[in-house]
Amino acid sequence: MATDTESGYAEGFGQVSRTVGTVFRYLLLAATMFGIVTLAVLLVYVANDAIQPLTADAGWHLTFFLTLVVPTTLVGGYLYRRNTDALKLGSTVVGMLAVAVLFSGGVAIVFVDIIPPLTGFSYAVGLVIPAALTVILTKYERQISFTPRVAATGAAFFLSLFGVPGYLHSIPELVQKAPVVPSDWVILALVLGGVAALVVGQYIARIREDATAGLIAGVAALVVTGLAALLGPLLGYDSNSFVVVTAVAVVPTATYAGGAALTRKRERIGLLLAGTVIVGSLVGAAAVDLLGFAGPQSWVNWQFLTNPHSSSAERAGLYPAIGGSILLMVTVAALSFPTGVGAAVYLEEYAPDNRFTRFIDVNISNLAGVPSVVYGLLGLGVFVTYLGQATGTVIIGGATLALLILPIVIISSREAIRAVPQDMRQASYGMGATRWQTVKNVVLPEAFPGILTGTILALGRAIGETAPLIMIGAPNVLFSLPTELTSKVSAMPLQVYAWSTLFASEDFYTKAVPAGVVVLLVVLLAMNSIAIVLRNKFESES
């Protein structure tokens, strides 16, 4: 390149090699883009089939173009040229709101439809009481030795949750049998609003370094949630869903945005973008309603999201499958996160360098390569045939998928743990810390963001899996939500599979399946983006 001048001969040669280099470079770029572009085209096709944007009135498109696209582009363009950090903040808030609304939908399914609010409330009380006891016990850490403390904690949880059959009622039982029980929305507002208030209060207290501010913010969050419950019926919506969306999506996003406005003076102009998007959407929606423009005849609509399967593609819905996927995800997370992180901690922090450790090591990397269908066989053979469990239940599906992603969780957690600087461990051991103290105080807190990222990505893999669920006999068609760990379970990818093979018809191919694919991909995309945002934040900090 720079070396090939000197003589005419060399220049001619340099010309040739430069051409070859340029061609090669573009060939490589084309190869890199091939998969991405192919997938993008396929996604456009499926989104078009599912949402059918061209069926909307021209006026509908024009209205939203004027109220949403134009202002957002202008504000975004301005921020991009002036202050990219502010742009980043603005897009984060918008993304956070979108993901949080999605998440609140999941929470609503779990805490309204799967677990009746009263049952959920009774268990929440049953958990809070022993948890409070544990916190109090921890304060006396130095007076009471470890073994009685653990025993007391265990006993408190057990008594609270299960009672003594025949003698002592458990706390959930007592609550459920109480003569006066609050109505559903009050319970939801108290429980979800309470959790939101706790998180908001802590966050504000931390960034303002002022406990009073935190307390005020927490109370405000609780009040806003309660107001939402009262506001819902006035606007013609259900109180319960209003409470959930407010507590899970609106309050946290507003708190984050408010916190950023208070602490990040240089970037807070970016919130303008978030405001533009939100106001633009609302104004657009009101305008098309007022002017009577019809929107697209999307197959991804409220009915699709809330109906069960039907043999007619127009009426078929994904609801039981969505609920099943959520329950499976919770089960898989509960099973694979502690065991995966535990195994990673053992291998990185405890294991002596001997044959057994090396064997576990090789074993885990081989398990990561075992096809998912074989894990399905494992679930079928061990859980169903040998342990005699019913086929296709939430717990069997969850356990099988947990085993499937366990190697991935272990491998990514090990990477995160290995990334903790050796200096930190040395400092801790040098102070006379034991292994567990070092793990608890130094290694796990430092590695946590990395572990979380890896686990979210692995969970994304789990909820996209179909083959193991088929193997353990999950039903292809399910008409109701699973409500217990021993209920039969369906899942979004399984429903997509059933529609595209067992109900194969032009109707399903062009309506229900694309809609199902879009919902599944949106959920996965949300999870992956959370993981990527976490990772970027983590990487830029360290």
Site for another protein in 328-387 (CB under 8 A): 338-343, 345-347, 349-353, 359-360, 362-367, 369-378, 381-382, 384-385
Q: How far is the CB of 50 from another protein (least distance, A)?
A: 12
- Region of residue 403 (phi > 0: left; psi between -120 and 50: alpha; otherwise: beta): alpha
In Å, how far are 67, 458, 521, 524, 535 from 532, measured between CA atoms?
Answer: 30, 13, 16, 12, 5
Inter-residue contact 451 to 413 (CB < 8 Å): yes
Nearer Cβ to another protein, position 12 or 371?
371
Contact pattern for another protein over residues 275 through 294, marking x by CB under 8 A: --------------------
Query: Which residue has tokens 């217990």?
Result: 484
Nearer Cβ to another protein, position 139 or 180?
139
Inter-residue contact 191 to 108 (CB < 8 Å): no
Is 144 a binder of another protein (CB under 8 A)?
no
What is the spatial distance between Cα 419 and Cα 412, in angstroms, rounded to a whole number? 11
Is 513 a binder of another protein (CB under 8 A)?
yes
**Tally of CB atoms within 10 A around 138:** 11
Nearer Cβ to another protein, position 183 or 426?
426
CA-nearest of 376, 365, 363 to 403 is 376
Nearer Cβ to another protein, position 243 or 512?
512
The one among 69, 138, 501, 537 contacting another protein by CB under 8 A: 501
Residues 209-268 within binding reach of another protein (CB under 8 A): 209
Nearer Cβ to another protein, position 23 or 70?
23
Show the CA angle centred on residue 444, arms to residues 438 and 448, nearest 5°: 165
Q: How far is the CB of 265 from another protein (least distance, A)?
A: 19
Contact pattern for another protein over residues 186 through 215, marking x by CB under 8 A: -----------------------x------
Inter-residue contact 267 to 260 (CB < 8 Å): yes
Q: How far is the CB of 210 from another protein (least distance, A)?
A: 12
Length of the chain: 542
Nearer Cβ to another protein, position 42 or 69?
42
CA-nearest of 173, 168, 138 to 152 is 138
What is the spatial distance between Cα 154 and Cα 86, in angstroms, rounded to a whole number? 48
Q: How far is the CB of 507 from another protein (least distance, A)?
A: 13
Torsion angle of C-alpha atoms 284, 286, 289, 294, degrees rounded to 10: 20
The 10 Å CB-count burial string (b at 16+, else e) for 209-239 is: eeeebbeebbebbbebbbebbeebeeeeeeb
Nearer Cβ to another protein, position 61 or 88?
88
Q: Which stretch binds another protein (CB under 8 A): 35-43, 57-65, 125-133, 237-245?
A: 35-43
Nearer Cβ to another protein, position 109 or 512?
512
The one among 5, 11, 15, 42 contacting another protein by CB under 8 A: 42
Q: How far is the CB of 106 from another protein (least distance, A)?
A: 18
Q: Which stretch binds another protein (CB under 8 A): 91-99, 143-151, 189-197, 233-241?
A: 143-151
Q: How far is the CB of 427 from another protein (least distance, A)?
A: 4
Query: Which residue has tokens 């202002």?
Result: 71
Q: How far is the CB of 518 from another protein (least distance, A)?
A: 10
Q: Which stretch binds another protein (CB under 8 A): 31-39, 97-105, 301-309, 477-485?
A: 31-39
Inter-residue contact 490 to 507 (CB < 8 Å): no
What is the spatial distance between Cα 453 and Cα 463, in angstroms, rounded to a whole number? 16
Q: How far is the CB of 320 from another protein (least distance, A)?
A: 17
What is the spatial distance between Cα 11 and Cα 7, in angstroms, rounded to a whole number? 6
Helices (H), 235-318: 239-245, 251-263, 271-291, 302-306
Is 142 a binder of another protein (CB under 8 A)?
yes
Q: How far is the CB of 109 from another protein (least distance, A)?
A: 20
**Tally of CB atoms within 10 A around 262:** 13
**Tally of CB atoms within 10 A around 442:** 19
Q: How far is the CB of 371 from another protein (least distance, A)?
A: 3
CA-nearest of 180, 160, 159, 171 to 121 is 171
Is 157 a binder of another protein (CB under 8 A)?
no
Nearer Cβ to another protein, position 21 or 233?
21
Residues 409-468 within binding reach of another protein (CB under 8 A): 410, 421, 423-437, 439, 441-442, 445-446, 457, 460-461, 464-467
The one among 473, 485, 522, 538 contacting another protein by CB under 8 A: 473
Nearer Cβ to another protein, position 206 or 266?
206
Is 24 a binder of another protein (CB under 8 A)?
yes
What is the spatial distance between Cα 526 and Cα 506, in angstroms, rounded to a whole number? 30
Nearer Cβ to another protein, position 180 or 541?
541
Burial of residue 207 (CB within 10 Å: 0-12, 13-18, 19+) is middle
Is 13 a binder of another protein (CB under 8 A)?
no
Q: How far is the CB of 361 from another protein (least distance, A)?
A: 10
Q: How far is the CB of 457 from another protein (least distance, A)?
A: 8
Q: How far is the CB of 328 from another protein (least distance, A)?
A: 13
Q: What is the chain's alpha carbon radius of gyration, rounded to the nearest angstrom?
A: 27
